[in-house]
Amino acid sequence: MASILTEAEQYLLDQIRQGRPQAWEQFVDRYQGRLEAFARSKLRTPADAEDLVQDAFMSFVQSLGAFRGQASLETYLFAILRRKIINWSRGRKSSICLLQDALPGGGQDDSGDAADRLAAPDQTASWYVRRDEEQERRHQALAQAMQELVDGFKQSLNFRDLKITEMLFYCRLRNKDIANIAGVRENHVAVTKHRYLKQLVEQMAAVSGDSLSASDDSFLTAEGSDAMLCEIWQERRLSCLKRSTIGAYLLGTLERDWHDYVTFHLERLGCQFCRANLDDLRRQTTDDGTRRLRDRIMESTVGFLRKP
Ligand SMILES: [Zn+2]
Q: For residue 246, report the distance from its CA to the centre of ligand 1, in Å.
A: 10
**Rounded Cα gap, residues 260 and 252, in angstroms:** 11
Q: For residue 64, report the distance from its CA to the centre of ligand 1, in Å.
A: 25
**Rounded Cα gap, residues 112 and 139, in angstroms:** 14
Find the mean pLDDT for residues 248-257.
91
Q: For residue 302, report the distance from its CA to the centre of ligand 1, in Å.
A: 30
Find the mean pLDDT for residues 127-152.
79
Residues with Cβ within 8 Å of 24's Cβ and at least 6 positions away in sequence, in order, are 16, 61, 298, 301, 302, 305
Between vectors from CA 34 to CA 238 and to CA 96, what angle results, nearest 5°?
A: 45
Q: For residue 299, report the distance from its CA to the centre of ligand 1, in Å.
A: 31
pLDDT at 277 over 80: yes
Find the mean pLDDT for residues 258-282.
95
Q: For residue 209, report the distance from its CA to the centre of ligand 1, in Å.
A: 31
Q: For residue 242, report the distance from its CA to the centre of ligand 1, in Å.
A: 9
Q: What is the pLDDT of residues 175-188, one digit of tens each?
A: 999 999 999 999 99
**Reported confidence tier of residue 106, pLDDT bands at 50, 70, 90:** low
Q: For residue 125, report the distance from its CA to the centre of ligand 1, in Å.
A: 25
Q: For residue 228, report the distance from its CA to the centre of ligand 1, in Å.
A: 18
**Reported confidence tier of residue 291, pLDDT bands at 50, 70, 90:** confident
> What is the 3-class SS of 253-283, one letter each residue?
CCCHHHHHHHHHHHHHCCEHHHHHHHHHHHH
Q: In the prediction, which pLDDT does 31 show?
A: 96
**Reported confidence tier of residue 117, pLDDT bands at 50, 70, 90:** low
pLDDT at 216 over 60: no
Q: In the prediction, which pLDDT does 238 show?
A: 95
Taken in order of first residue, the domains within the chain and their CATH numbers are: 7-130+284-304 (1.10.1740.10), 133-239 (no CATH)
Find the mean pLDDT for residues 282-304.
77
Q: For residue 154, report the distance from its CA to the centre of ligand 1, in Å.
A: 15
% of the chain beyond a pLDDT of 90:
52
Residues with Cβ within 8 Å of 105's Cβ and at least 6 positions away in sequence, in order, are none
Q: For residue 186, report the distance from its CA to the centre of ligand 1, in Å.
A: 25
